[in-house]
Amino acid sequence: MEKAAFAIPDLRAFLSALDAAGELTCITEPVAPHFEIAREISRRDGQPVLFENLPGYPGWRIASGYVAQREHYARALGCAPGDLVRRMAEAIAHPQPPAEVEAAPCQEVVETEVDLDRVPIPRYHPLDGGPYITAGITVIHDPDYGRNVSFHRLMRIGRDRFVARIVEQRGTDTAWRKSPAGLPMAVCIGVPPHVLLAAAMSPEKGVDELAVAQALAPTPTVRAKTAPLRIPAGVELVLEGVLTHEFTTEGPFPDLTGTMDGTREQPIFRVTAITHRREPIFHALLPAGLEHKQLMGMPREPTIFAAVNEVAACTGVRITPGGCSWLHAVVQIEKRGPEDGRQAIEAAFRGHPSLKHVVIVETDVDIDDPAAVEWAIATRFQADRGLHVFPDQPSSSLDPSARQAPGAKARTAKMGLDATISWGAEREGYRRMGYE
Ligand SMILES: Cc1cc2nc3c(=O)[nH]c(=O)nc-3n(C[C@H](O)[C@H](O)[C@H](O)COP(=O)(O)O)c2cc1C
């Protein structure tokens, strides 16, 4: 893997570090971007891999799995995995304005004759509605709230256009509804881990995710070539264009839960320019794979952490893989009062509105160990005291068991388990003995 030329923390620098640590698998045999690459990634789910030989796409490479584990983010941020939640919470609380540069690697090649046939956009599964971009971060500018960066899956439908999955009431959706002539949009692919992390967070409206990224690691921006936007300079590929008010059918496509999401009429994204580095690296994120789960779930932990710390002493949060890395969480607190458990439950649902079930444990329970969490439920939880059910709540559209109504927010019943030791109880009787 070649040494990174620019001092900008970019994907190449990160892949070099993984390679130096013996954690990157480089594949030189020819692998087709359609279907075959998904099989190869799925076989190595969670492992960083670089495909260096893509038939029909000379000079292109595809990376996958480089942000599939907490350790990958810890390496990118230069901290221990156990410190990630705190680092993310600090970055959201204290965003920093990114530096602005005039030239950037992501604009070494500029194409205004748009031909997406030249980009290796994978088709992952025969049931998919088409080839998809799954790890592109979307940069837009809201007339009232400023820059917003998030993810939208993009189904390719032509040489210069995609249909985008735009979940209602989030940043891109609200800005697009205020832009009758279309919303200028830039999609960046081949993005360093700290910028992916920030783009997947949902800070308050008006907080610029690139400023959150800058608080995690240097994130200089450069002016896009054809869209009135500044974009992260250290990315591999940029698709500049407009999110129009023309519609077509998007999907089907797998969702985070691993179930196939149905089709919807969604807006068309028309591309006006493509810019990229020489020998660009495309990022293929396997739908419902570990990388998808980690990138969806982990960025929600800091907002839960901050919300619980307003009502109790929160020491840790984990969005758990068993809950599709979206619907379940374990929250660890230092218990200091009889109501701490219930208040932490209610705060966790405020910190992540899509959360469905949450378990509260104390600091002697390892929140990275599902068996330890279950042990706390078995030995410290009583349903007639610690079970809190909240019927008829707004739900994630990802939960097939929720009550779904077209055009309306789904509805669900939420549940919290307070698995902390009952207040005033003799705590010695609850301590787990050990032989060390
Ligand atoms: C890998 C990944 C894929 C995502 N795909 C979509 C999508 O297709 N459409 C969507 O609206 N949100 C999608 N999201 C969620 C949003 O991008 C995410 O919630 C974001 O934080 C919303 O930010 P905002 O509240 O600032 O708009 C995805 C998130 C990740 C991590």
Bond preceding residue 218 cis, omega within 30 of 0 = no
Is residue 259 domain-shared with residue 402, that is, in the same domain?
no
| 288 CB-side CA count, 13 A | 15
* Count of domains observed in the chain: 2
Please report, for residues 292, 323, 392, 397, the alpha-carbon distance to residue 326 in angstroms, rounded to integers and kept in the order given.
Answer: 11, 6, 19, 11
189-243 pLDDT, tens digit each = 999 999 999 999 989 999 999 999 999 999 999 999 999 999 999 999 999 999 9
Residue 38 falls within a domain, yes or no? no
For residue 164, which atom of ligand 1 is closest to its CA?
8
What is the pTM assigned to this prediction? 0.94
Distance 375 CA to ligand 1 centre (A): 34
Mean pLDDT for all residues in the chain? 95
Identify the residue with better confidence: 428 or 279.
Answer: 279
**Owning domain of residue 402:** 310-430
Residue 107 falls within a domain, yes or no? yes
CATH code assigned at 259: 2.30.110.10
144-155 pLDDT, tens digit each = 999 999 999 999
Distance CA 88, CA 302 (A): 6
Residue 197 falls within a domain, yes or no? yes
Residue 45 falls within a domain, yes or no? no
pLDDT score for 8? 55
CATH code assigned at 392: 3.40.1670.10
Distance 346 CA to ligand 1 centre (A): 24
Residue nearest (by alpha carbon) to ligand 1 atom 3:
151
The 3-state DSSP class for residue 371 equals: helix
Residue 241 falls within a domain, yes or no? yes
Protein residues whose CB sits closer than 6 Å to any atom of ligand 1: 148, 150-153, 165-167, 170-172, 200-202, 285, 292, 295-296
Beta-strand (E) ranges in 93-236?
A: 109-111, 132-133, 137-142, 146-151, 154-158, 161-164, 183-189, 221-223, 230-232
